[in-house]
Chain A
């Protein structure tokens, strides 16, 4: 039977990049994505009772990442409301950067709530069916559809604004 160390090594080497990309879309930030991946891996493998099975380790870690991201966003929401007031001028994005498609989509993602962002990433990046997205987030399928609908509306506004620049 494969030990947890072997499972972990296989996961980091085989799926590390994919996990990082997933985390990057959730967080929109390199450093946070790095931390999110590491924290999710640690959480996954510190549970002897319900640790990941070798074949399902990647999916297990992805679920933990989404939940950690949502929980973390909830905890930091108070700070998030204040942070923009404290942000210095040099940290404001250069408008020229926003012209690029990739920056525009990241900006649009940042405009969503954590659950909406998670829904968009799981549905349109990971290509999960609605039922699976609902299972990952622990909400009903109707709720997921509503999150996606609201997210798409917000993103449409953001993206059309960016394209008109």
Chain B
């Protein structure tokens, strides 16, 4: 029996009304946005200066204030209480960097796996508010204020004790995990509570630089080729007939209409990106759960293009079409041929 459209509209509206009012607050979102913007801005300069090509989790370090019981804080109309703005100075094995509370820029320290670090952290608590608890520890990039910061692994110092306004100094020791891979990163975070709430945030970042070979042209080509093939690996056994890539800037890539129709994550026109174009016949299956050859109900096309961030190789855009890009790749930058085809091609 077919569904009556007006009835469907009415039932959808009824179902939507089941939804409770949103708990997201302007303050929560604005804090996350400011933090991500600051980190991207700072990271762009830092990466250029120290030639660290990839740091994982560019936009993943976000703070979502929670009640001590674990639910989200506040409602849409009641802003959470403003807490004290702590400032920190971090010294790692003699290297000192100050972090003004106003900008919140995050200093990056390059480390090597297995390295033993001595961290000297000065925490300045502004007047007049005293803290009721402070923890310092290592996190993977996401901080949430909780009664006990179990997400810190390990907790290096702190506890539920009163901390009066003024400067406190902590000396911490931490050994960088031996398994931390090149390009990966983790953070030194602070989690603090005061009489009316709690907050958390990263105060320094530790990253393992890529090996020099990993940024060599041949390594980049291998990596792009692997990413491209992985992107179409669910396409019913299809193999690309050709794969070409060009290193360009995000601003130039934005001028190619078929590449940037979707949503992108990059926020700087000068950021280096790789645009990869594959020619073949690609069929994408919904949900990826369809066995090869069973049906062809997903979108299909002869040209698959993808845009990768030049530093982290995160996929920024991907699109599928039946026509080549309207702009020749060579006009965007030097073109890399990533191999004509995979040996032992599939059915196409």
Asked if A and B bind, the verdict is: yes
Residue interface bits B317-329, CB-to-A below 8 A is 1, else 0 = 0010000000000
7 A-B pairs whose Cβ atoms sit less than 8 Å apart in the complex: A12-B29, A37-B24, A46-B33, A74-B287, A77-B288, A106-B15, A124-B8
Bound complex: CA of A33 vs CA of B16, how far in Å? 11
Which residues in B have some Cβ–Cβ distance to A below 8 Å? Answer: 1-3, 5, 8-9, 11-26, 28-30, 32-33, 36-37, 40, 59, 62, 64, 72, 76-77, 254, 261-269, 286-289, 299, 319
Nearest-Cβ distance from residue B305 to partner chain A, whole angstroms: 13
Residue interface bits A41-63, CB-to-B below 8 A is 1, else 0 = 11101111110000000000001
Nearest-Cβ distance from residue B1 to partner chain A, whole angstroms: 5
Interface residue ranges of A97-146 to B (CB < 8 Å): 101-102, 104-106, 109, 113-116, 120-121, 124-125, 127, 138-139, 143
With A73-B287, A105-B15, A115-B286 given, is the CB distance from A37 to B36 under 8 Å? Answer: no
Residues of A within 8 A of B29 (CB): 8, 12, 38, 41-42, 45
Interface size range of chain A in the complex: 35 or more
14 further interface pairs, Cβ-Cβ under 8 Å (given A8-B30, A12-B25): A22-B16, A24-B15, A25-B16, A42-B62, A45-B33, A46-B37, A77-B289, A101-B11, A101-B14, A105-B11, A106-B15, A106-B18, A124-B9, A156-B2
Residues of B within 8 A of A5 (CB): 26, 30
Nearest-Cβ distance from residue B268 to partner chain A, whole angstroms: 7
Bound complex: CA of A14 vs CA of B299, how far in Å? 36
Residues of A within 8 A of B76 (CB): 12-13, 16
Closest to A81 in B: B289
Q: B16 touching A21 by the CB < 8 A rule?
A: yes
Nearest-Cβ distance from residue A16 to partner chain B, whole angstroms: 4
Residues of A within 8 A of B72 (CB): 34
Bound complex: CA of A124 vs CA of B30, how far in Å? 32
